[in-house]
Structure 1
Amino acid sequence: MAVLAWLLIPLLTAIGAGLWGSWAGRNRKAAGDGSELAGYARFREAMEKSHSGT
């Protein structure tokens, strides 16, 4: 019975690694990119204004 327990440890570890890998590689929605890009555009405009005066 102890041998079976030692064989189950790597099996369960492999299953857990497979589940984690599929979760980590999932497709994520890029819904938040629009606001970040708009903020970056505002930042660039502000930097251009501050450098155009000097």
Structure 2
Amino acid sequence: AAKLTPHCKMEALHSATMSKVIPPAPITPLTLQLAMHLPVQRPMPMREQANDIAV
């Protein structure tokens, strides 16, 4: 298994956070998987999801 460098981890976390796939969180294999495998634009921000459910 290839090991990600700290720079790659930071890039993955930054991309995931900016696209609102995950909240800011410590880097874990799970957050890295989310960052790399989830569609970038499909997930909605948590706040908007809550508003839609409330309506």
TM-score range, shorter chain: 0.3 to 0.5
* Bigger radius of gyration: 1
**Higher relative CO (CA 8 A, sep ≥ 6), structure 1 or 2?**
2
Answer 1 or 2: which has greater helix percent.
1
TM-score (norm 2): 0.32
